[in-house]
Amino acid sequence: MGRILVVDDTLFMRTLLKNILFSGGHTIVGEAENGDDAIAKYQELNPDLVTMDIVMPKKNGIDALKGIKTIDPNAKVIMCTAVGQEQMVKLAVKTGARGYIVKPFQAPKVLEEVKNVLGA
């Protein structure tokens, strides 16, 4: 199971995602509420996987993904997106995201994507 950093600007979404991941046997090593915090926490915690919201204040998920990939080109990041943000998802994948999950989160789909990315 993976050591995961959860990044989302809303506490509710972070808590929901943490509960899903925890139920799947994963360890939550930290959380961040914006892209700047995500990069700092990634350096500090060196997680196996990051779940990253795309739309956040200060630094969005795409820019945070770029920052993390600069630190660790092999970083495993799954983007979290709302329905209708397909263009942002395509950009995230081009930038180096390994996968994505769509809000509202459905536990089986979240755990399947995490398993796929951690196994890659």
Structural domains in the chain, sorted by start: 1-114 (3.40.50.2300)
Q: How many residues does the chain have?
A: 120
Q: Which residue's entry shows tokens 């969005």?
A: 60
- Residue 60 host element (H or E): none
Give me the chain's average pLDDT, please: 95
The three-state secondary structure class of 20 is helix
Averaged over 37-53, what is the pLDDT? 98
The predicted structure's pLDDT at residue 120: 58
Q: Count Cβ atoms within 10 A of the Cβ of residue 57 and give its class: 0-12 exposed, 13-18 middle, 19 or more buried.
A: exposed
| Cα(98)–Cα(10) distance, integer angstroms | 23
Q: pTM of the entire structure? A: 0.95
The predicted structure's pLDDT at residue 85: 79
Averaged over 30-55, what is the pLDDT? 97
Q: What percent of the chain has pLDDT over 90?
A: 87
Q: What percent of the chain has pLDDT over 70?
A: 99
